Amino acid sequence: MHFANYVEERGRPLSLGRGEHLFRQGDTSGSVYVLREGLLKAYYLSDDGRENIKSFIQPGELIASLAAVYTGEDCSFGVVCLEPSLIVELDFDALLAETRRDLVLAAEMLEHLLDFSMKKERREREFLTDSAETRYRVLMGRSPELFDQVTQKDIARYLGITPVALSRIRKRSAES
């Protein structure tokens, strides 16, 4: 069975309004979510209340706390809705069990994971090798839509800097 069909058959549709949470950091969760429409934000909350953004989730993408669904830990991050969203919820254990019976599904899950891994590798690389300013320019080039969809504050927290620092970077690049 193809993943799309599996989602169709076994998924539970969900609809979230701006500001509502799909799950929160510290929750337990056994679900994987597919975003159909809207926009989500995955973020870490540190002890002192600071927010760092792990990723923005666009329609068509999957989101789950791997540590939570796969090893049973608490969610290491939360997911909140930035724009009214349509989401489909899947039970991870059932999905994993199905991949053990279905070659087509297993192959597609492998593809998804490979894509996911490559994205994570790219982001890891950017943090390791690029300055904040470079990361900003790369992001602008790759996902200009983001700048219309989310606040500059969230962009900054995604880049790993403060809103103040991002404002300075923008000023610098506007001048040059």
Partner DNA sequence: CATTGGCGTTAACCCGGGTTAATGCGTCCT
Partner DNA sequence: AGGACGCATTAACCCGGGTTAACGCCAATG
Interface pick for a second copy out of 160, 167, 172, 173 (rule CB under 8 A): 160
Contact 24, 81 (CB under 8 A): no
Per-residue binding string, a second copy, 106-145, x by CB under 8 A, is xx-xx--xx-xxx-xx-xxx-xxx----------------
Residue among 46 and 71 whose Cβ is closer to DNA: 46
Residue among 106 and 140 whose Cβ is closer to DNA: 140
Q: Does residue 4 touch a second copy according to CB under 8 A?
A: no
Residue among 55 and 149 whose Cβ is closer to DNA: 149
Q: How many CA atoms lie within 13 A of 51 on its CB side?
A: 17
Minimum CB separation from a second copy for residue 5, in Å?
Answer: 18
- The C-alpha atoms of residue 14 and residue 88 are separated, in whole angstroms, by 6
Neighbours of 75 (CB within 10 A): 21
Q: Taking CB within 5 to 8 Å according to partner kind, which of DNA, a second copy, none is near residue 120?
A: a second copy
Per-residue binding string, a second copy, 71-110, x by CB under 8 A, is x----xx------------------x--xxx-x--xx-xx
Q: For the purposes of burial, counting CB atoms within 10 Å of the CB of 87, is it exposed (0-12), middle (13-18) or buried (19 or more)?
A: buried
**Amino acid letter, 133:** E
- The C-alpha atoms of residue 26 and residue 105 are separated, in whole angstroms, by 30
